[in-house]
């Protein structure tokens, strides 16, 4: 457990000192949300109706952005192979890195989401459910994304391929995230079935995705 | 299964059964197409468009069976390092993707006169579209990685992860209240289709399935030959390099 935490702390410190990861994701989130009304027209009623889906799509795309760096640097300088030979199982390494990705990329996006929601005229009562559904659903994005990151590790056109592989896997999170949000907005019921399924998706991804991710990393070593 | 692990044995076996399978597919298609176009009656509501089902249903079945076979082969290649499982998982990809596209396109052509739209975002259609995207992603992954053994293992992992989608497709019509109709052939209380439509449908499904296996066997043979050629080429290049070094 201490090795797990040490690794996570190392990844967090690297992300903080290198800078850019969180800022780029936040900037991308803002840009996506800002160009949507330009394409859809400035009709505030229409934007308010579309806002839950638009915000979730913007979250998906922004979370995707930094995924290709998840294992990249460690694979380049050989520390990933050192980690693989260490006492910590590779599954736990993948989980620690996915959690660090969630803390450095997804969590700031979730915190910033109400600001973006203002741009799309989402009613202010919906801000709580928005943050809550995104906080519960976004861990699945990091863990599923870790599978894609390890599958495309070291490929020349890894970035676009990563998006092609990971976005279909994100579809259930998107569907249940938006449904949970709109249900909470309509009925005021936070613990609706879609919300519970969203929670289940995150828990299942957290438990199972590191296994697939570690298997893909091992395929890269030999 | 391990008995067929030898690609040479597989090649001679495939050569022996392929002519028979091609003949079987051709005769099943002859019977099935005749039944579908001349014997099966037009539906009293759908009219002649019901005949699209004779292409649509077998394609959709192959889209899902094809993916399940790829997932099974992927398990075989990951666990037992079965060399043919790897070849099968790769060879079946474009074929499965084609049948998935065929199911989507025929469904859209049927949907326009019947539902009034080529495409609706119902659970069955959406999940099959995601299946198509998974096929595309797997093909792209195979193409992006040069080393075939690494590509095989990486693609196998993705194929197994993506298998989650297959039960979702199968049960989407039960779990969600969809526009797409529920199961009507494989049901506990027997098929709910009249025999005059059911029999042509079953014959067409058998014909499509035989065609699928013919295509997969040919694609597997091609893939094995392609790997042999590239192995020979790299051996030759290595040999040329070695003699060039020796000459210096």
Q: What is the pLDDT along chain A (222 residues), one digit of tens a residue?
A: 788 888 889 988 888 888 778 888 999 999 999 999 999 888 889 999 999 999 999 999 999 988 888 888 888 888 888 888 888 899 999 999 999 999 999 999 999 999 999 999 999 989 999 999 999 999 999 999 999 999 998 887 788 899 999 999 998 899 899 999 999 998 888 888 999 999 999 999 999 999 999 999 988 776
Q: For A171-189, b where at least 16 C-beta lie within 10 A, e where not — what string?
A: bbbbbbbbbbbbbbbeeee
Asked if residue B1 has pLDDT above 60, the reply is no
Q: Is B150 in Cβ contact with A222 (below 8 Å)?
A: yes
pLDDT of residue B9: 86
pLDDT for residue B3: 62
Smallest CA-to-CA distance from B210 within B1, B32, B44 is with B32
Residue B137: which of A155, A164, A220 has the nearest Cβ?
A: A164
Give residues with Cβ within 8 angstroms of A90, minimum separation 6.
A83, A84, A214, A217, A218
Tell me which chain B residues have a C-beta less than 8 angstroms from the C-beta of A215: 78, 153, 157
CB pairs under 8 A between A and B: 54
Q: Do A156 and B130 touch (CB under 8 A)?
A: no
Task: Please give the biggest Cα pair distance in chain A.
Answer: 57
DSSP, collapsed to helix, strand or coil, labels residue B205 as: helix
Nearest chain B residue to A205 by CA distance is B161
**Distance of residue B175 Cα from the nearest chain A Cα, in angstroms:** 13
Q: Do A168 and B78 touch (CB under 8 A)?
A: no
Distance from CA of B144 to the nearest CA of A (A): 7
DSSP state of B117: S
- Does the distance separating the beta carbons of A171 and B144 come in below 8 Å? no
Predicted local distance difference test score (pLDDT) of residue B157: 92
More confident residue, B181 or A99: A99
Nearest-Cα residue of chain A relative to residue B145 = A155
CB B77 within 8 A of CB B86: yes
Is the pLDDT higher at A103 or at B187? A103
Chain B environment of A147 (Cβ under 8 Å): 157-158, 161
3-state secondary structure of B47: strand
Mean pLDDT of B203-215: 95
- Please determine, for the modelled complex, whether the ipTM score is greater than 0.90: no
Domain spans in chain A, listed from the N-terminal domain onward: 2-221
Residues with Cβ within 8 Å of A22's Cβ and at least 6 positions away in sequence, in order, are A15, A104, A105, A108
């Amino acid at each position: 457990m201490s090795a797990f935490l040490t690794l996570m702390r190392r990844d967090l410190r690297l992300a903080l000192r290198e800078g850019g990861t969180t800022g780029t994701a936040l900037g991308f989130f803002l840009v996506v949300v800002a160009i949507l009304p330009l394409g859809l027209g400035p009709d505030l009623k229409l934007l308010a109706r579309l806002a839950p889906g638009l915000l979730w799509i913007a979250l998906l795309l922004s979370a995707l952005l930094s995924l290709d760096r998840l294992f990249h640097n460690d694979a380049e300088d050989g520390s990933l192979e050192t980690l693989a030979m260490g006492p910590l199982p590779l599954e736990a390494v993948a989980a620690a890195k996915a959690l660090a990705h969630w803390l450095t990329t997804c969590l700031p996006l979730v915190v910033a989401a109400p600001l973006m929601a203002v741009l799309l005229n989402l009613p202010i009562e919906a801000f709580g459910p928005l943050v809550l559904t995104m906080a519960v659903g976004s861990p699945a994005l990091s863990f599923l994304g870790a599978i894609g990151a390890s599958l495309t590790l070291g490929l020349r056109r890894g970035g676009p391929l990563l998006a092609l592989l990971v976005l279909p896997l994100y579809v259930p999170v998107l569907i249940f995230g938006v449904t949970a949000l709109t249900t909470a907005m309509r009925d005021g019921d936070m613990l609706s079935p879609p919300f519970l399924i969203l929670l289940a998706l995150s828990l299942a991804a957290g438990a199972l995705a590191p296994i697939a991710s570690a298997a893909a990393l091992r395929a890269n070593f030999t | 299964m391990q008995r067929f692990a030898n690609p040479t044995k597989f090649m001679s076996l495939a050569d022996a059964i392929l002519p028979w399978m091609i003949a079987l597919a051709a005769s099943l298609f002859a019977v099935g197409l005749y039944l579908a176009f001349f014997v099966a009656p037009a539906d009293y509501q759908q009219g002649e468009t019901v005949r699209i089902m004779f292409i649509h249903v077998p394609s959709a079945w192959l889209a899902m069976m094809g993916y399940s076979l790829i997932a099974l082969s992927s398990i075989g290649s990951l666990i037992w390092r079965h060399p043919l499982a790897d070849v099968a998982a790769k060879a079946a990809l474009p074929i499965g993707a084609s049948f998935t596209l065929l199911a989507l396109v025929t469904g859209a052509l049927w949907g326009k006169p019947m539902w009034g739209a080529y495409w609706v975002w119902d659970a069955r259609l959406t999940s099959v579209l995601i299946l198509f995207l998974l096929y595309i992603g797997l093909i792209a992954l195979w193409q992006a990685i040069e080393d075939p053994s690494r590509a095989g293992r990486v693609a196998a992992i993705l194929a197994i992860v993506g298998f989650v989608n297959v039960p979702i497709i199968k049960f989407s019509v039960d779990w969600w209240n969809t526009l797409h109709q529920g199961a009507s052939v494989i049901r506990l209380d027997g098929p709910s289709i009249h025999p005059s439509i059911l029999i042509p449908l079953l014959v067409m499904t058998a014909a499509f399935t035989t065609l699928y296996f013919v295509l997969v066997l040919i694609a597997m043979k091609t893939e094995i030959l392609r790997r042999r050629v590239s192995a020979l080429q790299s051996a030759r290049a290595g040999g040329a390099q070695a003699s060039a070094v020796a000459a210096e």
